[in-house]
Structure 1
Amino acid sequence: MKRQDKAQIIEQLKEVAERASIAIVTDFKGLGVEDFTNLRAKLREVGVDCQVVKNTLARLAFEGTDHGILADKFKENCAIVTGYEDPVAAAKVVAEFAKESKTFELRFASLEGKYLDEDGVKALSLLPSKEELLGKALGTMNAVPTNFVRVLANVPRGLLNVLTAVKDQKEAA
């Protein structure tokens, strides 16, 4: 590979690392081409990229970015999974694929500059997605005014029940 090609790959990977909120490093040794293609398709569905790059190029690209803590850890065969908007989605797909495959392994990750080991990525994959969290927050925010209106509506309803009972009592007498 020519020096100019290497410089271009480093620059592209550096741009990806700067935009990414999560970078997951995996071991794909022994994984078939068909299985790896399936993984990439699953990752693309949730807006996540996966690249196989030489370790020295990855080291150079990741230095000076938020994910710089990973630069010294690139060893053997590795694929880099980068997620941009929802880091939980990337972790879910990778952790699920690692469960299904005997040869594919999670190694470590960087979540917005913080190092995560394999267990940390698996724990991240158990969290609800961004949409689920937003839905729960919206439901909670909506519940407060709804309950307040119900409480205020019960005051006239209670008064009306008392007046109706007094009317019924007077009619009976």
Structure 2
Amino acid sequence: MKKEDKQIIIKQLGEKLNEYAHFYLVDVTGLNAQQTSDLRRKCFKQEIKMVVVKNTLLQKALDAEEVDYSPLYGCLKGTTAVFFCNTANVPAKLLKEESKATGIPALKAAYAEEGIYVGADQIDTLCSIKSKAEVLAEVVALLQSPAKNVVSALQGAGQTLHGVLKTLGERPE
């Protein structure tokens, strides 16, 4: 591969690192063409960009970034695919599902929510990370809950008071 081609690939990887908030390094050794194609389709459906890269070019792209990705360098061995995404837990859930079925692919490392996770044992931790939308939904539900309680209490009290007054009004004196 020519040096110019390598520079173009490094530049493209750098653009992807800036475009997406999170990325996963995945070991895809052992996947045949059909399995790789199926994995790509599943990634596409879940808005994950899957790119198989040369480890040295990826390391050079990571070096060029402002963030210190040096803990990831030890994972850059073998066949590596990078899953780029904007929702931190989606690739982890996909990898967990796929590895149950076939045993591959395996997580090497991940950069999610400005943290670095190294090792396949981190998959459960990454699955439990909540997306921004999930956190916002929980906050809205928590904020709505007290208001709903006040409204229902006022409605219940009004009906009770109305019933008492009606009963008193109908009672013979």
Common topology (TM > 0.5): yes
Shift of 1:13: 0.3
1:169 counterpart letter in structure 2: R
1:78 counterpart letter in structure 2: T
1:137 counterpart letter in structure 2: V
* 2:152 alignment counterpart: 150
* 1:115 alignment counterpart: 116
* 2:83 alignment counterpart: 81
* 1:29 alignment counterpart: 29
Q: Are residues 109 and 128 of structure 1, via their aligned partners in 2, closer, same or farther at CA, if it must alter by over 3 Å? A: closer
Aligned-residue RMSD, C-alpha: 2.1
- Using the size of structure 1 for normalisation, the TM-score is 0.85
Give the whole-Å Cα distance in 1 for the aligned partners of 2:114 and 2:162: 62
* 2:97 alignment counterpart: 96
Shift of 1:133: 4.4
* 1:59 alignment counterpart: 59
Shift of 1:12: 0.4
Q: Are residues 127 and 61 of structure 1, via their aligned partners in 2, closer, same or farther at CA, if it must alter by over 3 Å? A: closer
Q: Which moved more, 1:56-65 or 1:105-114?
A: 105-114
Shift of 1:34: 0.7
**Once the two structures are aligned, what percentage of the paired residues are identical?**
26
In the alignment, is residue 13 of structure 1 matched against residue 22 of structure 2? no
Aligned pair partner of 2:126 in 124, 127, 141 = 124
What do residues 46-93 of structure 1 show as CA deviations (whole Å, max 9, x unaligned)?
111111111110000012243623245311211111112x11112211
Give the whole-Å Cα distance in 2 for the aligned partners of 1:161 and 1:57: 77
What is the count of residue pairs matched by the alignment? 170
CA contact (8 A) 2:98 2:104 kept: no
CA contact (8 A) 1:66 1:112 kept: no
1:147 counterpart letter in structure 2: N
Give the whole-Å Cα distance in 2 for the aligned partners of 1:158 and 1:122: 50
SS at match of 1:156: helix
Shift of 1:136: 3.8
- Using the size of structure 2 for normalisation, the TM-score is 0.85
Which runs of 5 or more residues in structure 1 are unaligned?
none
SS at match of 2:29: coil
* 2:50 alignment counterpart: 50
SS at match of 1:50: strand
CA contact (8 A) 1:66 1:113 kept: no
2:109 counterpart letter in structure 1: F
Which runs of 5 or more residues in structure 2 are unaligned?
none
